[in-house]
Chains A and B, each alone.
Chain A
């Protein structure tokens, strides 16, 4: 298979040609600080998303802190 024969498939070739990439302007030398900022600024998955998406999950998120505080209070009462 040669590149020419690859391009003989005009339909596929035309589709592949549509995939353009814009080259951003960036220096040759990497900057640790710039990478750190990019890492911090990049969107990440919300760890609470599975809870927020369901009604039970939202209720659980509301009650977990209350239960936690209650558990700590009870522990303190029993210790003293």
Chain B
């Protein structure tokens, strides 16, 4: 049996009726969830909506979580990722119907290095981007990433391999262009 994280223990307490434990879960998992959604979508408002909706869903289905099946962190990332994909698909449909009502993305960074890595990640295909973000920034195992994205572990490995190769090419290309090498 695996060791429970702090948030898993809080979730068990919440399932037993301790409503204050939910605040603790929110404090612990809001930052990673928001970071993941923001790095994926680069949309602050969308990221806030997704994090809030994830916690609404957690509250509505609090007894669906089974600590034996995995960490709460993976469970919430799974909910957030599904909500995000649904929302982005809906947004794409609206964009086709009413292009002028679709919010324009606003990137607020000024440091050139950050823009470079942001852009390199943004240029990755959606599926590869999700794998890199979950695996690198949130230190989830390949099994956990596979579970969150509902794909086989082999697919996680291959997407990671291709994504890292693309990132290297993108960043090195950029540095050659800017005269670093």
B157: which A residues are within 8 A, CB to CB? Answer: 1
Contact residue among B104, B117, B136 (Cβ-Cβ distance under 8 Å from A6) = B136
Q: A9-B164, A30-B56 are in contact. Are A21 and B113 (CB under 8 A)?
A: no
Q: Does A68 contact B (CB under 8 A)?
A: no
Per DSSP, chain A at the interface is loop
B136: which A residues are within 8 A, CB to CB? Answer: 3, 6, 16
Q: How large is the interface on B (under 10, 10 to 19, 20 to 34, 35 or more residues)?
A: 35 or more
Q: A1-B157, A16-B136, A45-B100 are in contact. Are A26 and B48 (CB under 8 A)?
A: yes
Per DSSP, chain B at the interface is helix
Complex Cα gap A19–B35 (Å): 10
Q: A3-B135, A3-B139, A18-B114 are in contact. Are A26 and B52 (CB under 8 A)?
A: yes
B135: which A residues are within 8 A, CB to CB? Answer: 3, 6
In chain B, what residue has the closest Cβ to A47?
B100
Q: Does B55 contact A (CB under 8 A)?
A: yes
